[in-house]
Every structure is written in C-alpha cells, then in structure tokens.
Structure 1
Amino acid sequence: MLYAIDTDGQRIRPSIHKQLATDPYSGLPTQGITGEGLDYWRLIEGKYDAWALPNATWNLRWKLEFPEPLVEISIQGDHAKHVADVRTNKGTVLKFQARNLNEQQLREREVFFEQMVWIFRADKWDIELMFNPTRYRTTEGRDRQLPKSDSFKWVKFQSRHSKSVFKACKMPVFLDFGDDCIYWLNWQSKSNLNALYHPTQGLLKSYPKQQFIQKYSQL
C-alpha cells in the first residue's frame, strides 16, 4: 500500500524504513519499507483485504500517477468491503492487475465494483503487436479499411494463447506493455470492429498514457 494512518489520523507515505503506522482498512499495524526504489507500507501480519495480493512495483507506480485523494479508497458493499486502487470523482474504479486471476475472480471484482476499468500488465504476455494497420477483416470475412482518428492509433495483436481476460471481462480492458502508450481492447467499444469474440487476435486502440491518466485524475 502507498498510504497508512499516523497517530493523528492522517494518511501518510513512509519516510523511514520500518516506520510504524496503522493500516486504514483493517486497523492492523503496518511498517514502512524504504530503500527498494519505491517506498510503501506492508502489514506486519494479516491481510488488509480478502482480495489483496502482494503489490508489485508496477501497481504502486501506476497508483502514484493519480492524486492522493483518489488512491486506495475503501468501498463498502452489501456483504463485504474492498479497496479500489483508484476511484475517480465520478465513481469509476481503476484496477491495476499484475498477477493472474481466474475467470471467477475477474467476474467477482466486476460484480462488486460495478463501474470499473481494468489495466493489465501485459509486458510479459506472449503477444505480437502490429502497429498502424490500415485494414481489418469483418466477422463476415470481408476486408475493410480502418477508419482514421487523431485521438488514437490502431494496433493489431495476435497471441499464441488465449487469455482469460479476453473472454471473462465485461468491463473495459486496457493493456500496459511497458511503453508510453496504453492499449484498449477494441471489441468492447460501441463502435466495435471485432464484434465476434476471438481468443487470440483482434484490434487495440493505442492512447498516450498521460492522456489516460489525465482523463481519470480530475478531482
């Protein structure tokens, strides 16, 4: 976690190694971890959230891109409470997912958060990207010209293996391949050019990461 609670009830970042504070969600003691390139809090024991997985540096760096009041927000549901990585001022939850989840786990999170966007770490996925394609094949097998846009760039992808996120996720999915852009799975858009689900290939829309971050950072 990026934030913990000090003795005055304020959300703080760790400033020294093994600094003690309180986890704001579970009330359990936590200690600061510093000197590893990115400072964060780690529970001394236990879990702050039943869905919590060890935070990778990738997750933490993404969360640092957003204003502190939007980061690590506790959401109370009818029967459980979970922590959103980021919750925008309009109520959209951003979930940064570096570790694999099965289809049931993916669906559970979508049902709970309701209004959310997935961002998956994909730099280690076995996916081939083909930039700036000009044509695509429709679900009827017809060859068509891709529409041009000034706001995004088209990217084709092909994977040797089907990913569960392609089939299970009903909420918008963005992929992070570790460059300066973020890639939206196009078949989830209303102007869908890949209306028929395909497990190993399709189209992505490429946007600058800063454009994505600015969109969801408004207080």
Structure 2
Amino acid sequence: MKYAKVNGKKVEAKPKLRGICTNCSQEMVAKCGRVKIWHWAHKSRLHCDPWWESETEWHRNWKNNFPVEWQEISHKDKASNERHIADVKTSHGLVLEFQHSLISPAEVESREQFYGNLIWIVDGNRSELDKGHFNLGLSGPIQKDPLAYQISWYGRSRLLQNWAESKVMVYLDFGDEILWRLVLYNSQKKTGAVGPLSKKAFIEDCLNGYPIRVSKLEE
C-alpha cells in the first residue's frame, strides 16, 4: 500500500515508520528496500483486502494524477459489511481501479458489483508483446463519431478476451499519451472495436466529475 495512517494522517512509507492500516486499523510497517517500490505492509503479513495486488511504478504514476485524499479509499458495503480498498475514489463517487496483474472473470464481476460506479484502467504492457500485437491489429477507423477502430488480435495472450465481458468502461494503457477504450470484443472471431482518448482528457474528466468524453474524427 502507498499510504498508512501515522498520527491520524495518511503518510507514505519511509524507513523505520510504523502506521495503521486505513482499511482494517491493524499495524503496518514501512518496507523501504532497494528493489521493490517503497510501500506499507501489514505486520501480520496477511493483507486485509484479498483484491489488493503488489504495486508497481505504473500504479503509483496513475495514483499520483489524483489528490491524496482520493487515493486508497476504504469502501464498505452497508448491507454485507464487506470492505475493500479502492485505488482511487473521487469526491464525485467514481472508483478507478488500476489493474496490472491477471484477474479472473469472477473477480472482475465481483468488483464491478461491489463498487458500482467503476472504471478499469488496465496495464497493456504487462506482457512485452501485447503492445506490438495491439498496434498490428488496429485498422479503420470504422466509425467517426465517436471515433472507433477495428481491432484484430493475433497474440497468444488473453488481454482483450479477459475484459470482453466487463459491464463497465475498460481502458487499456500502453504507456503512450493515448488510452484505448475496449468497446467490444468477440472472443471467437478475435475481433472487436476500440476507441482512443487522450490520457490528459481522461484524467481531467475524472478530476472534474464530468462524463468521460469520446474522440471524434473531424471532417
């Protein structure tokens, strides 16, 4: 985790610090080694949120686009008392989950039901070949307003297939200034449609609480 509470305030990990988990209130220790990104870990070594994944610089870079008070927010279901930590939850009620590791369709569905107003941002560079396969498969555009391109998938990975059944917006981040929304994908035909949007525009809309805009092809 990026943050723990120290003397009642959200603080990033620093050597020798001790803190309290913002989700379960258990003791946290700062992990500040030379290899992994500095982070907080539960002293018991058992994370209170089974949905949590080890953070990368990619996670941190995304979180840093948003105010500290929006990052790592404990979200509780009032009916079940189930509790999870949202990567970012804006003051407008939108949850952003930054997903690097593989995730099962069942967990995708569970998170979407739990958070409701959710958008996924998926790390497209987890596999070193996925970006190349994505660019190779792009053709079009097939629609001008909103702008959409056909995508054919030639790679072995299941990057698009894993997110084909999502009920919320899914954006693929290949490390460029453009995000690609996965509009639809047919797993049998291995074809679908994606729409581009500048990362800057996406972040601005999230910060301001606006509906996420779409790109158009000017005549």
The one-letter code matched in structure 1 to 2:163 is F
Which deviations, in whole Å up to 9, do the C-alpha atoms of 1:31-70 show, x marking residues without a partner?
2234558533222222131322222332222112211111
Whether contact under 8 Å (1:89, 1:218) holds in the other structure is no
Change (3 A) 1:2 1:33: same
* SS state at 1:105 partner: helix
How far apart in 2 are the matches of 1:46 and 1:17? Answer: 21
The separation in 1 between residues aligned to 2:35 and 2:97, in whole angstroms, is 24
1:46 maps to 2:46? yes
1:212 corresponds to 2:208: no
2:2 counterpart of 1:12:
no
Amino acid at match of 2:117: Q
Corresponding residue number in structure 2 for 1:139: none
Between the aligned residues of both structures, percent identity stands at: 23
Return the letter of the residue paired with 2:61: R
Higher relative contact order (CA 8 A, sep 6+): 1
* Equivalent runs, 1:57-76 vs 2, <5 Å: 57-76=57-76
Q: Cα distance 1:36–1:215, how it changes in 2: closer, same or farther (>3 A)? A: farther
| Contact persistence 2:4–2:10 (CA under 8 A) | yes
Distance change (3 Å), C-alpha of 1:198 and 1:105:
same
How large is the Cα RMSD of the aligned pairs? 2.5
Q: Which residue does 2:214 correspond to in 1?
A: none
* Separation of aligned partners in 1, 2:4 and 2:124: 29
Query: What one-letter code is carried by the residue in structure 1 that aligns with 2:87?
Result: D
Cα pair distance change 1:157/1:68, threshold 3 Å:
farther
Gaps of 5+ in 2: 210-219
Paired residues of 2:171 and 2:181 also in contact (CA < 8 A): yes
How many correspondences in the alignment? 197
Match of 1:181 among 173, 178, 183: 178
| Structure 1 residue 21, shift from structure 2 partner | 1.1
Native 8 Å contact 2:90 2:206 kept in 1:
yes
| Structure 1: 5+ residue stretches without partners | 137-145, 188-196
TM-score, normalization by structure 1:
0.78
Structure 1 CA distance, aligned partners of 2:109 and 2:75?
17
Contact 2:121/2:171 (<8 A) preserved: yes
For the residue of structure 2 that corresponds to 1:129, the secondary structure is helix
Mapped to 2, the partners of 1:52 and 1:159 lie a distance apart of 31
